[in-house]
Homo-oligomer: A and B are copies of this chain.
Amino acid sequence: MLNCAWRARYKDWDRCDRTFVELAEGTSVAGVFTQSACASSEVEMGREQVKTGAARALIVNAGNSNAFTGHRGREAVEQIMAQVADHIGCDPCEVLVSSTGVIGVPLPKDRAKEGVANALNTEYCGWEDAANAIATTDTFAKGAHASAMIGGTKVDLVGIIKGSGMIAPDMATMLGYIFTDASVEPGFLQELLSSANLQTYSCITVDGDTSTSDTVLAFATGKTPAPRITGWDSPGADAFAAALTDVCRQLAQLVVRDGEGATKFISVRVSGAVSDESARRVGLAIANSPLVKTAIAGEDANWGRVVMAVGKAGEPANRDKLSIAFGGVWAARDGLPVEDYDEAPVAQHLKGQNIDLAVELGMGTGTSCVWTCDLTHGYISINADYRS
């Protein structure tokens, strides 16, 4: 049961901002969370809850992150958990809660209580409605779908996500939820989600700022007759893992495409690093550089700024082995500008909305792909006047 019709009015707005998902008995859960040292109560509690591997409900509050609200914030979450558990007859720790929005304002308990009471008794909604209800500064609803064959039975995976600014996930991003009717052992679901996370959410950045609320949860209800997946030896495990990573990648990329003020989606492909992790760090140094991002906003193939970003990344690199390409055209090779470099096709590529930036470090075989967006006046306009 999916419900997002309720307007708890956590902000001064007239829209649905409370989402409730009831999950079948026996649902497995896995999660990845922000590594912020100032994480919200929802995150702190969620980290513990997913260890049990069982979930019966998800509540998402939009408009108030309930982060940095001390014991009052925790009490609000506990109240919601108890109220929902009482209604559906489960353990409170099987009720996962997320909140997103302004930091430092305790979630109002009265609105939360009234909201839950109503949410439990109103009509179903669709995935797009839910994707809209969990959003804050997002400009469009974000969802993804994939399927996999498990022992001859098709299982589906559906995901929704929200996020646009304060995006530099460090093991997770903003709020994302993936639901599947497959039957998956919780420990293995956690392994798959953590692995998918490293290749997807952990490879995106909008502004280098890491949220206090980043959470991605995966729920497997086991409502199909497909055989249970308990490990890599189970039939269909590979197909399910690929489908899960596919959904995660789609969701992660949607967040970047909706990056605050973004006009271009940028793929930064790093190869030749000493390891994949080193490649990812170099990619993020490039993707987080305001000078690289403003150059691309200005449609300027200023690869000197890419050199700068590689140099500051703190990873093994050698100036004289470095090569850089935009849109498949090498501007610099082995530490030198390319002699007969023709900027015309590059200039044309930069006028597009999908920018491909490749960096070859020449140090080893490590590779990674990181996704980001450009930095524009739009970002400044959105963030110089957000809270007030």
* Residues on A facing B (Cβ under 8 Å): 34, 36-39, 65, 67-70, 72, 102-106, 165-166, 168, 170, 207-212, 288-291, 294-295, 297-298, 300, 302-305, 307-320, 322, 332, 334-337, 375-377, 379-381, 383-388
B290:A383 contact, CB within 8 angstroms:
yes
A306: min CB distance to chain B, Å: 9
| A103 CA to B291 CA, complexed, in Å | 13
Leading 8 A-B pairs by shortest Cβ distance: A103-B304, A38-B311, A298-B384, A36-B311, A210-B312, A294-B383, A37-B317, A104-B304
B290:A385 contact, CB within 8 angstroms:
no
A307:B379 contact, CB within 8 angstroms:
no
Q: Contacts A288-B208, A300-B386, A376-B384; is A104 near B307 (CB within 8 Å)?
A: yes
A71: min CB distance to chain B, Å: 8
| A387 CA to B350 CA, complexed, in Å | 15
Q: Which B residues lie within 8 Å of A36 (CB)?
A: 308, 311-312
| A332 CA to B25 CA, complexed, in Å | 42
Show 10 A/B contacts (Cβ-Cβ < 8 Å), sorted by A. Answer: A37-B319, A38-B310, A69-B337, A105-B337, A166-B291, A208-B289, A209-B305, A294-B379, A294-B384, A298-B388
A70:B335 contact, CB within 8 angstroms:
yes
A287: min CB distance to chain B, Å: 12
A380:B383 contact, CB within 8 angstroms:
no
Q: Which B residues lie within 8 Å of A38 (CB)?
A: 307-308, 310-311, 317, 319, 322
| A368 CA to B340 CA, complexed, in Å | 49
A387: min CB distance to chain B, Å: 5
| A298 CA to B297 CA, complexed, in Å | 22
With A209-B290, A290-B290, A300-B388 already in contact, 4 other A-B pairs whose C-beta atoms are closer than 8 Å: A38-B322, A103-B305, A170-B312, A298-B384
Contact of A307 among B103, B298, B302, B384 (CB under 8 A): B103
A320:B70 contact, CB within 8 angstroms:
yes
Q: Which B residues lie within 8 Å of A288 (CB)?
A: 208
B37:A303 contact, CB within 8 angstroms:
no
| A297 CA to B379 CA, complexed, in Å | 12
Q: Which B residues lie within 8 Å of A300 (CB)?
A: 384-388
| A294 CA to B379 CA, complexed, in Å | 9
| A365 CA to B168 CA, complexed, in Å | 30
Q: Contacts A105-B337, A311-B38, A379-B290; is A387 near B70 (CB within 8 Å)?
A: no
B304:A387 contact, CB within 8 angstroms:
yes
| A67 CA to B310 CA, complexed, in Å | 13
| A103 CA to B334 CA, complexed, in Å | 15
| A255 CA to B25 CA, complexed, in Å | 61
Q: Contacts A70-B320, A294-B379; is A311 near B212 (CB within 8 Å)?
A: yes
B68:A387 contact, CB within 8 angstroms:
no
B103:A210 contact, CB within 8 angstroms:
no
A68:B294 contact, CB within 8 angstroms:
no
Q: Contacts A36-B311, A207-B291; is A380 near B384 (CB within 8 Å)?
A: no
B68:A297 contact, CB within 8 angstroms:
no
